[in-house]
Amino acid sequence: MKLKENIAKVIGLMAVSLLIPACYNVKHGKPIEQGSVSQIQKGITTRAEVERMFGAPLSATMRPDGGRMLIYNYTQASGNFAPFVGAINQQTVRQMLQVLVDTNNVVQDYEFSGNTNQ
């Protein structure tokens, strides 16, 4: 008899917990500081200097000319999650830095993009 009551209580608590909203904060990568991006100089900055500023790239793809495309990415998403509704009050930060280095590991070009969605 007591076992059935305990099982009923556990099931009841589980059912109620499914209705409680939750918060979330998910991060991927390392934030890309715009002040550091502005220090990159085409034709002067080296791959080693870029990696000192930003760490190891998420990926380094070889290009047909022998150079490399270094990719840095950062994403952060936070907000609340309500059962049967989904994500609410979501805020997202996305940043991407692409750096093109030549066969001598000197920066030839770069592009930074970033946005915040609230």
Does residue 9 carry a pLDDT above 90? no
For 79, the domain range is 21-117
Per the structure, the count of domains in the chain is: 1
Q: Which residue has the higher pLDDT, 79 or 58?
A: 58
Check if the beta carbon of residue 80 is closer than 8 Å to that of residue 87. yes
Note the residue count of the chain. Answer: 118
Pick from 43, 35, 42, 55: which is nearest to 114 by CA?
35
The CATH number that applies at residue 38 is: 3.30.1450
**What confidence score (pLDDT) does residue 7 get?**
76
**Close Cβ partners of 96 (under 8 Å, ≥ 6 residues apart):** 32, 71, 72, 73, 74, 112, 113, 114
Q: Is residue 74 part of a domain?
A: yes
**What confidence score (pLDDT) does residue 90 get?**
76
Does residue 89 carry a pLDDT above 90? no
3-class SS of residue 71: strand
Average pLDDT on 44-72 reads 97
Q: Is residue 39 part of a domain?
A: yes
> Considering only 20-24, 66-70, 77-81, 90-94, which range has the smallest mean pLDDT?
20-24
